[in-house]
Amino acid sequence: MLIAGNWKMNKTASETVEFCSALRRRIGGIAEEVDVAVFPPFTSLAAAVRLLATTEIAVGAQNVHWATEGAFTGEISAPMLRELGVYAVIVGHSERRQLFGETDETVVRRAAAALEAGLFVIACVGELEEERDCGDTDAVLRRQVSALTEDDRLVVAYEPCWAIGTGRTATPDQAR
């Protein structure tokens, strides 16, 4: 089982120090029974890595670019994350798809670059409300998942776009 917390654009570096210190105390031996990961904003990654380095709690980044270097303002490469001590990345988050125009193709490229660099990847997949209402959920999910490379370090997270911020949730049957 994996428990992953995406902090989105929350917590400064000093707030991360406080949070990770408390997390270490509260999680204790749980992280030995289940996989636990936190995904702070980029500015808090170093603090989280430093504080959680001697624990079973993994630190991941919320995004990664497919290129190892270049003129990609605001992006970060997998080698940069690895050097920092980051263990995993999230790719394809619905907010990245909806707000920043990410596509299945760019998600696949990001995932491949992260895997090649030795990072674990959580690849988010999910349908829009219109796609669900039209009965296209299975086709959308198959398209998104089939584009990804099979790898033991890849976790697919079902994140129905229609449920984010709406108070609605997918049923266990829908998630299966």
CATH number of the domain where residue 174 is located:
3.20.20.70
Nearest to 89 by CA among 123, 53, 52: 123
Lowest mean pLDDT among 22-26, 46-50, 60-64, 159-163: 159-163
Q: Indicate if 53 and 21 belong to the same structural domain.
A: yes
Residue whose entry in the numeric block shows the structure tokens 């994350």 = 81
Catalytic residue ranges: 93, 159
Q: Give the torsion sign (CA, 29, 35, 40, 43).
A: positive
Task: Indicate if the pLDDT at residue 7 is higher than 90.
Answer: yes
List beta partners, residue 3: 36
Average pLDDT over residues 8-18: 97
Q: Which of 40, 58, 76 is a domain's end point?
A: 58
Predicted local confidence at residue 173, as pLDDT: 84
Q: Indicate if 90 and 163 belong to the same structural domain.
A: yes
Task: Indicate if the pLDDT at residue 136 is higher than 70.
Answer: yes
Q: Indicate if 15 and 75 belong to the same structural domain.
A: no
Average pLDDT over residues 59-64: 98
- Statement: the pTM of the whole predicted model exceeds 0.85: yes
Q: Which domain holds residue 168?
A: 63-176
Spatial separation of the C-alpha atoms in residues 48 and 29, rounded to whole Å: 18
Predicted local confidence at residue 109, as pLDDT: 97
With beta carbons less than 8 A apart as the criterion, state whether 156 and 175 touch: no
Q: How many domains does the chain have?
A: 2
